[in-house]
Amino acid sequence: MDKFNKYFRKSITRQFMALMALTMTLILCGAVFVLWSTVNIIQSYETNSGETREKQELVSDISNHANQIIMRVRGYYVYQTQFEYDQIFIERQALDTALDAIKQYPMSDSERELMERIESFFTSFFNELLPQGIAYAEAGNYEALRTYISAEGDNPVNKLLEYSRTFEHTVQKMASDENLQLVKDLTYQGGIFIGYILLVLVFSLFITRKIAKDIGYPLSQLTQQAERFAAGEMIQVDVVRRVDEIGGLSESFHAMIKQIVSKEEELVSQNEELQAQQDELQAQQEELHAALQQMEHNEHYLEKRNLLVQSLSNTLNKQELLSSIIRHIVDIVGYDKGIIVMNTPQHDYAAVGVSAKGAAQLIDSIDDGMVLRAAQTREPYCVTRACTPGEQGYHEEQLFASELIVPILDAQEEMVACMILTKLGQSIAKHEPVEVAGMARQVSLAFDKLAIYESSERQRQMTSDMLNTIQEGVQLFDLEGRTLQINKKLTEFFGFLPSNGESMQLPLHDLLDKLSGVVAEPEALKQFITERVLGCRSADASGFTYEIIEPDRKYIQMYCEPLYREGVKFGTLLVHRDITKEYEVDRMKSEFVSTVSHELRTPLASVLGFAELMLHRELKPERQRKYISTIHQEARRLTTLINDFLDLQRMESGKQTYDMKPVSLTALIHEVIELHRIGTSIHEIVWENDDKPLMLLADQDKLQQVLTNLLSNAIKYSPEGGRITITSQAESEQYVIRIRDEGLGIPDNALPKLFNKFYRVDNTDRREIGGTGLGLAIVKEIVTRHKGTIEVDTKLGEGSTFTLCFPAQHIQPAVETETEASEHMPEASVEVMLIENDYNLSIMLRDELQASGFRVYLYTQGQKALEEMDALRPDIVVIDLMLEPDTSGWQVIEQMKKTDTLQNTPIIISSAFEEKEKAAQWGIREFLVKPYLPGRLTATIQQILRKG
């Protein structure tokens, strides 16, 4: 038993298994018992009910057989057949068998008595009654039989039948009773089984609880202890003295705690050791970190120094260099601000953190103070001073600034620049001046480099400027024919050359290829260049002339010079000179000579021809008139031509003077139109005037020339006649005059050159129309001088419109007009001294003046006129500038101005030379340029007289 106990105590699993096995076994036993008892009950029930049923069947059989015997006997008595007889005995045998069988079953006393009576009855029946009865029947003695049978006494068969019926009822009742009993038994048995099961469960619960308690308690104890241990508490572990798993667990736990405690101690000691090592490492790391920081600082410092060195070599721009130097040095030494000033006359400087005013102040006093000391001592030095309010910033306590002044010395130990570096609120460390002086030496080297660069750059720039300024294109080739350098002018000649091509490497064949596209007849040029550049032929002074066709047509003269260095040829210089102008001038000259000679000869031929005719022939007065009018017309044409020519010459030489006065444009247009209307009968000249007076500050004569040229062109180039419309109107800010004709029009290709001098449209329509190509050039010049513009809108064959625009001016119209003036004719007593060298002209002018009512004193020599002038005291002197060889008009004027009595005498200059400016210097405004119409002289005198 002990062994058994031990076996189970050793394992909780076993205990549980045993408990479970026991519980299951008990339940199984109960179940088996219930099954067995149920089977028993049912078996006994079945036995009982079977017996009763069998008994009842036997009773029923007995009563049947008994009844059958009686019935058969009676049948035999009646029929006396063998069959009936046999049947009686078959039935008797069956009755006996049934009686024997029923005796096997337990029977009540009454039953047994009944059975015995039946047995005894039939025994006596067969033994006595039947043979007798048979005998009677067989004897046919039925009477005796009847009597005999009635005397048979008490027949139990009836009782039996009754019993059999009663027994059947009894058996049924018994069966139902037994059924009830069976149910009762089974119910009872089920109740007992449930009770049994409950009992088993209570028992197993009790056992389970005990086992659980045995497991749970020590486990919770262990858990608590483990938790306390985990929480870091030192615990006393109570070992559970048990042989099962809990005991093992408790022991293991105890051992584990012990182990942990011992390990912990070990770990603590290891940890302490590690801690010590870590402290050591920490210290080493800090040391390393400090070293690293120092290294980083050094690296940073070196980087900055490097940047300084780089910046010193990177730029050759002085200002950039200075800025970069001071910026880097301030950064390297960690100062707050600094300035570097050069010791040049213009004191170039750059600063960091210094205002322009502060820098200017330093430069103003550069020869006196800190910089002076640095220049004299050539040593860096330090200064400490109180901070300025600006430097003080938001600090309330007084701050001090330390300044380090460092001279930058050149190779000759002369100061070329000075650096002043400032540190706010800190003093200067000992090593800093030395450090900055080191940098100053580097800076000095950079300055030397800069100086060399600047000098060579100046030289280069000068050479480049010289090359670019000259009007010749210059091209330098090396011995292989590569173009090394060109100047700007050459790039203007050849668009394919790069505009910044001062230094380049253009191979000869590339150059020649490109030249082919832009030069007329390139082969000769290519040959010339190749021969000269590659040295096949020595240079000759003759040069070569070629024509550029793109981008602009140009004529270039080229010559070449070989270049030698120390007697060895190293290249070739080609010089291209633009001779387009000369070429054009030459061309124009010859064109002009032919035009002018044509234009001069034609009218001259008429003048000469008609004059000859008039001289040598007797002509009718009307014919004379006609010839004279032709001569007059041709002379006018000649005058216009010469005037145009002279005007242009003056304009080109810049000698043209403009006498700007308020001029009524409207009156002028009217005058010009009227003049031209007379000359044409096939043109209708219409003036569309918006009636606003257009006043301009202009040279009246020049403006008249403009209008005349345009209107005469309109007439001239409308040979078929037509309408010529002149519109004049004042628009918002300008006066616009349009002269529209319905004539030949101008081809588009002529428009760009239309206003060029000597330009004439050349086509068959107008070959017959004379002209010099100067009119529009003069118009353009005059209009431009009046700040105006001229435009042309034309369609070939349909006509042209020339539009003049002048800026509008607000000038009041003159109160007096020419017409009004003519109303105030002077007195006939006005004396005019006319000094005119040309005899014919003097006669003509005298006649004109006399005809106008003046008294005229005519002189052809200046000297003589002067001598008599004082005595004559003329009211007005009209003088030609070109007099006899010894005295010029100017000398006469000079003398007059010097003579008190004559200096206020009004003078009118009548000359072919337009020297209005010189005249104005003598206070002379009236200047008539020859040839002029004689009437103009009269009008001018009248004007002077009017002014008084």
DSSP for 22-37 reads: HHHHHHHHHHHHHHHH
User: Which is nearer to ligand ADP, 323 or 709 (by Cβ)?
Assistant: 709
User: Which is nearer to ligand ADP, 736 or 761 (by Cβ)?
Assistant: 761
- Closest approach of Cβ 709 to ligand ADP, in Å? 6
- Closest approach of Cβ 651 to ligand ADP, in Å? 13
Q: Does residue 744 bind ligand ADP (CB under 6 A)? A: yes
**Token digits of residue 575:** 């010089």
Task: Show contacts with ligand ADP in window 701-720 (CB under 6 A).
Answer: 709, 713-714, 717
Q: In the set 407, 522, 571, 743, which binds ligand ADP (CB under 6 A)?
A: 743
User: Which is nearer to ligand ADP, 457 or 798 (by Cβ)?
Assistant: 798
User: Which is nearer to ligand ADP, 170 or 602 (by Cβ)?
Assistant: 602
Largest CA distance in the chain: 249
- Closest approach of Cβ 587 to ligand ADP, in Å? 17
User: Which is nearer to ligand ADP, 325 or 714 (by Cβ)?
Assistant: 714
Q: How many residues bind ligand ADP (CB under 6 A)?
A: 22
- Closest approach of Cβ 937 to ligand ADP, in Å? 29
Instruction: Write each residue from 798 to 817 as x if it is in contact with ligand ADP (CB under 6 A), else as -, in one continuous string.
Output: --x-----------------
User: Which is nearer to ligand ADP, 52 or 772 (by Cβ)?
Assistant: 772
**Token digits of residue 89:** 């005995």
Contact segment (CB under 6 A) with ligand ADP among 40-48, 389-397, 612-620, 752-760 equals 752-760
User: Which is nearer to ligand ADP, 503 or 784 (by Cβ)?
Assistant: 784
How many angstroms separate the CA atoms of 851 and 848, rounded? 5
Q: Give the phi and the psi of residue 803 in degrees, each rounded to 5.
A: -115, 125
User: Which is nearer to ligand ADP, 315 or 640 (by Cβ)?
Assistant: 640
- Closest approach of Cβ 718 to ligand ADP, in Å? 7
Distance of CA 18 to the CA centre of its chain: 90
C-alpha closest to that of 519 among 471, 552, 541: 552
User: Which is nearer to ligand ADP, 522 or 773 (by Cβ)?
Assistant: 773
Q: In the set 754, 856, 877, 908, which binds ligand ADP (CB under 6 A)?
A: 754
**Token digits of residue 663:** 């001029």
User: Which is nearer to ligand ADP, 560 or 724 (by Cβ)?
Assistant: 724
Show Cβ contacts of residue 471 under 8 Å, excluding neighbours closer than 6 positions: 489, 577, 578
3-state secondary structure of 447: helix
User: Which is nearer to ligand ADP, 410 or 765 (by Cβ)?
Assistant: 765
How many angstroms separate the CA atoms of 474 and 572, rounded? 10
DSSP for 257-269 reads: HHHHHHHHHHHHH
C-alpha closest to that of 872 among 899, 853, 894: 899
- Closest approach of Cβ 798 to ligand ADP, in Å? 10
C-alpha closest to that of 879 among 825, 844, 838: 838
- Closest approach of Cβ 664 to ligand ADP, in Å? 25
How many angstroms separate the CA atoms of 675 and 680, rounded? 10
- Closest approach of Cβ 716 to ligand ADP, in Å? 6
- Closest approach of Cβ 767 to ligand ADP, in Å? 10
User: Which is nearer to ligand ADP, 195 or 797 (by Cβ)?
Assistant: 797
How many angstroms separate the CA atoms of 215 and 232, rounded? 26
How many angstroms separate the CA atoms of 9 and 242, rounded? 8
Distance of CA 90 to the CA centre of its chain: 138
Q: Give the phi and the psi of residue 153 in degrees, each rounded to 5.
A: 80, -155
How many angstroms separate the CA atoms of 161 and 69, rounded? 13
User: Which is nearer to ligand ADP, 572 or 709 (by Cβ)?
Assistant: 709
Task: Show contacts with ligand ADP in window 77-136 (CB under 6 A).
Answer: none
- Closest approach of Cβ 584 to ligand ADP, in Å? 17
Distance of CA 276 to the CA centre of its chain: 62
User: Which is nearer to ligand ADP, 25 or 649 (by Cβ)?
Assistant: 649
DSSP H stretches of helix in 80-141: 82-103, 109-124, 130-138
How many angstroms separate the CA atoms of 842 and 888, rounded? 16
Instruction: Write each residue from 758 to 797 as x if it is in contact with ligand ADP (CB under 6 A), else as -, in one continuous string.
Output: -xxx----x----xxxxxxx--------------------
- Closest approach of Cβ 720 to ligand ADP, in Å? 12
- Closest approach of Cβ 755 to ligand ADP, in Å? 8
Q: Does residue 603 bind ligand ADP (CB under 6 A)? A: no
Cβ(269)–Cβ(262) below 8 Å: no
Element (H, E) at 313: helix 245-314
- Closest approach of Cβ 860 to ligand ADP, in Å? 36
User: Which is nearer to ligand ADP, 100 or 793 (by Cβ)?
Assistant: 793
Quick one: how many helices (H) and strands (E) in the chain?
27, 23
- Closest approach of Cβ 804 to ligand ADP, in Å? 13
C-alpha closest to that of 508 among 479, 537, 548, 542: 479
- Closest approach of Cβ 468 to ligand ADP, in Å? 37
Contact segment (CB under 6 A) with ligand ADP among 273-281, 744-752, 822-830, 934-942 equals 744-752
Identity of the amino acid at 752: P
| Residue 112: other Cβ atoms inside 10 A | 13
Please, how many CA atoms are within 13 Å of residue 361, restricted to the half-sphere of its CB? 6
DSSP for 613-639 reads: HHHHS---HHHHHHHHHHHHHHHHHHH
How many angstroms separate the CA atoms of 709 and 716, rounded? 10
| Residue 412: other Cβ atoms inside 10 A | 6
| Residue 926: other Cβ atoms inside 10 A | 18
Q: In the set 467, 506, 638, 746, which binds ligand ADP (CB under 6 A)?
A: 746
Instruction: Write each residue from 508 to 527 as x if it is in contact with ligand ADP (CB under 6 A), else as -, in one continuous string.
Output: --------------------
Instruction: Write each residue from 309 to 348 as x if it is in contact with ligand ADP (CB under 6 A), else as -, in one continuous string.
Output: ----------------------------------------
Q: Does residue 889 bind ligand ADP (CB under 6 A)? A: no
How many angstroms separate the CA atoms of 357 and 365, rounded? 13
Show Cβ contacts of residue 112 under 8 Å, excluding neighbours closer than 6 positions: none
Q: Does residue 741 bind ligand ADP (CB under 6 A)? A: yes
User: Which is nearer to ligand ADP, 278 or 763 (by Cβ)?
Assistant: 763
- Closest approach of Cβ 749 to ligand ADP, in Å? 12
- Closest approach of Cβ 494 to ligand ADP, in Å? 33
User: Which is nearer to ligand ADP, 769 or 825 (by Cβ)?
Assistant: 769
C-alpha closest to that of 706 among 732, 737, 746, 735: 737
Q: Does residue 595 bind ligand ADP (CB under 6 A)? A: no
Contact segment (CB under 6 A) with ligand ADP among 553-561, 619-627, 736-744, 846-854 equals 736-744
Q: Which residues bind ligand ADP (CB under 6 A)?
A: 709, 713-714, 717, 741, 743-746, 754, 759-761, 766, 771-777, 800
